[in-house]
Each structure stands twice: as C-alpha cells, then as structure tokens.
Amino acid sequence: MALRTAPVELPDVQHDPGHPFGVYVHVPFCITRCGYCDFNTYTPAELGGVNPDAWLQALGTELALAAARLTAPTVNTVFVGGGTPSLLGGARLAALLDLVREHFSLAPEAEITTEANPESTWPEFFDAIRAAGFTRLSLGMQSVSPRVLATLDRVHSPGRAAAAVGEARAAGFQHVSLDLIYGTPGETDEDLLRSVDTAVEAGVDHVSAYSLLVEPGTALARRVRSGELPAPDDDVLAHRYELVDARLSEAGMTWYEVSNWSRPGGECRHNLGYWNGGQWWGAGPGAHGYVGTTRWWNVKHPNAYAEALAGSVLPVAGFEQLDAEARHTEDVLLKTRLRQGLPFSGLNAEERERAKAVVADGLLVADGDRLVLTPRGRLLADGVVRTLLG
C-alpha cells in the first residue's frame, strides 16, 4: 500500500505470545541535519507547532490506543531512537518511559535503550535516565577524525563520544554501544583504526559499524553527484570492514550480526528481536510496527502525527499483510546475517540446493543445521541472500 499522509484504519492485530515483544519510540528532533542522513528527522526550522512537550503528549495517546488494541503483551525490550532522543533531556526521557510503563507491562529484566548524540549529553543527563530505568545506551560516535566528522556534518568534537562513555559508566550503565561509519570520502585506514581503538579503549561492550551509504535526496548525494566528493568505493569498503572486524576481534568482541559486535551479554536484545522474527509496536512519527502478520508505518510529519492523535486516531499512513512467502523471504534475509545462522531445515528444496552451491563457493559454512556466513560471505551477504532466494 502506498504511503499516505492521511491516517488509515489499522486492521485488528494481536501479538503472538510465542515471539518476544518490543516497543520502539521514534523521536523526530535534531538540531541540524547531517548530510548523509535520510531518517525521518526535523530541525527546529522545519517544525511548525509541534515541540517536544506536544510530541510527548501525542505519544502518550498513541501508546494508550496501542495498549487498547492488544491483549496485554509483556514488553521485553524498549528502544528509543531518532533523530536525537538525547535532545529531550533526562526529565522528558524519564516521562517517556513512564508512559510506556503506564500502558504496557515491562518484563522484570527488560532491556531499555536510548540513542544519544555525544554533544547533547552530560553527566546529569546520564544520571537522570539511569535513575529512570534505562539500562542501555547507544551513542553516535561515527569517527574521531575531524575531517571525517566535518564531511559527515557531525557537530561533536572528536573526543566527546569517548568522554560521554565515561560519564555513562559513572552513572551506572553497564551496557554502552558506540556507532561507527566507515568509508567516508577522505577517510584513511589510520582514521578508521583510531576510531575503533578509541571505542575499545572507552570500555564499551558493543560496537556497530556501518559502511557509508549515499542515500538519494541527501546533501551528501548532491555533493557526490556534483563531483565535489567521490562516491564510496566497494573495494575500499570491504577492506575497511575487514579492518574493523580484525581489530574488534582482537579486543575480544565477537560479531553477532554482520554490522554488530559485542562482548558476551552485550548484544542488543531489541535488534535481535527484529532479526529473529519478534514483534513490536512502533510509536512516533514515521515509526514502523509489526504485530501478527501486519506491518504498518505512521505518518511522517510530527504535525500530522499530533493532529491525528488529537482526534484519538492512530496515525497510520499505510500497512501491508505479510503472507507466508513474504515472511519466509524476510526470515532468510535477516537470519542469514546473524552469527547463529540460518536453519537449513527451514529452506525449501530449491533453496537447499542453492545453499549447497553457496557453501561450495566458500560463502557459507554448515554448522549442524545452521548455515553461517564465512568472513568472505559477510562481505557479500546481500548477494548470498539473493542467491538463496533465487
């Protein structure tokens, strides 16, 4: 179904108790727009009447409507993403979590994560959100190279992310992740290795590393199209990935998804829920949800989101019903990327034959009933999936 700005009626959805259930909350606010970002975010100049307090009020209404439609699932994970959730400040993030607790039952050991940008955090912020019940922090570091940060339009100083990790640790956070981007025009191998080493030395238990994507419609895409910046080179990106993997492996971190490494127990349970077929309610402007066999997405602009909820209407822009074939395709797509691998027994006869050929090519290895990407296979994961699905 095509995306629409006016809300549509969401069909009845019910959580399957055999799968973990999460809540994702999208915070749409950013101070500036990074040149590479195509997320659903808005700077103050792009917003009309919706401020963080009005957005929070609308969010409470959406969560109430969501809870009324579901049969009281226990929430295993909460993830607050964006945008820049740390712009809300500690008190509003605490209020946000109170809203989730008001309408849903959280499991006793629920993982509760918020993303944060280093420049909008400080010790009192970490103290406040830890006291509120957040258990995990994901900080956007990207790089410690000044020229790389400048190309990405990141505004924090090179050392701020590591300092923020120390402040979060002092506040009592045991689980802290840093995000890296590799392959930025002008980046060198040394730039990347310094960034990885800084993350390790900061004491985090999780690192996500993503290759730079030039998304259509972004400022970065315009700069590449004009010739001001070169496009990322696939061979360079593969080499940089190998550098990240080797350095993190040496430091005792293990990949558990193609772009994610952690120490034992540091895996992001919320994201594992996505990859393992879990279900979640996506709240906030532009958020996606998936419950039962229905996937939906909310209207994107915060004003349209708040307007719908002011009338006690779920702000759904569109939805789709996933049949068995679509669910199988997603299962192959997602589980192939995991270190635990894809169950061979879950493939049909044609896919099994294709899987044997991929194993013979050295891109997958059989581990019992599981098919697991080899190091070379991780570099070609998307191609492996396309081959398996035929």
pLDDT digits (tens, 9 = 90+) for 152-180: 888 788 899 999 999 999 999 999 999 99
Question: pTM here?
Answer: 0.95
Note the pLDDT of residue 48. Answer: 66
Return the structure tokens found at 53: 């307090």
Q: How many other C-beta atoms are found inside a 10 Å radius of the C-beta of residue 107?
A: 12
Domain boundary among 276, 299, 334: 276
Note the pLDDT of residue 4. Answer: 46
6: CB partners within 8 A, 6+ apart? 299, 317
H/E run at residue 207: strand 206-211
DSSP string, 96-136: HHHHHHHHSEEEEEEEEEEEE-GGG--HHHHHHHHHHT--E
Q: Are residues 123 and 256 in the same domain?
A: yes
**Closest by CA position to 235, among listed 207, 258, 211, 259:** 211
The CATH number of the domain where 375 resides is what?
1.10.10
Q: Per the domain annotation, does 305 fall within a domain?
A: no
Q: Per the domain annotation, does 43 fall within a domain?
A: yes
191: CB partners within 8 A, 6+ apart? 143, 144, 145, 147, 148
Note the pLDDT of residue 46. Answer: 79
- Please, how many CA atoms are within 13 Å of residue 240, restricted to the half-sphere of its CB? 27
Note the pLDDT of residue 72. Answer: 78
Q: Are residues 217 and 331 in the same domain?
A: no
End-to-end Cα distance, the chain? 25
**Closest by CA position to 93, among listed 163, 27, 24, 33:** 27
Residues of the chain with pLDDT under 50: 1-4
Note the pLDDT of residue 5. Answer: 60
**Rg, Å, the chain Cα set:** 21
The CATH number of the domain where 25 resides is what?
3.20.20.70
Q: Are residues 272 and 335 in the same domain?
A: no
The boundaries of the domain holding residue 260 are: 21-276
Count of domains observed in the chain: 2
Q: Are residues 267 and 196 in the same domain?
A: yes
Q: Per the domain annotation, does 283 fall within a domain?
A: no
**Cβ proximity of 315 and 304 under 8 Å:** yes
Give CA–CA dist 382/271, Å, rounded: 19
Domain boundary among 276, 301, 335: 276
Q: Are residues 29 and 165 in the same domain?
A: yes
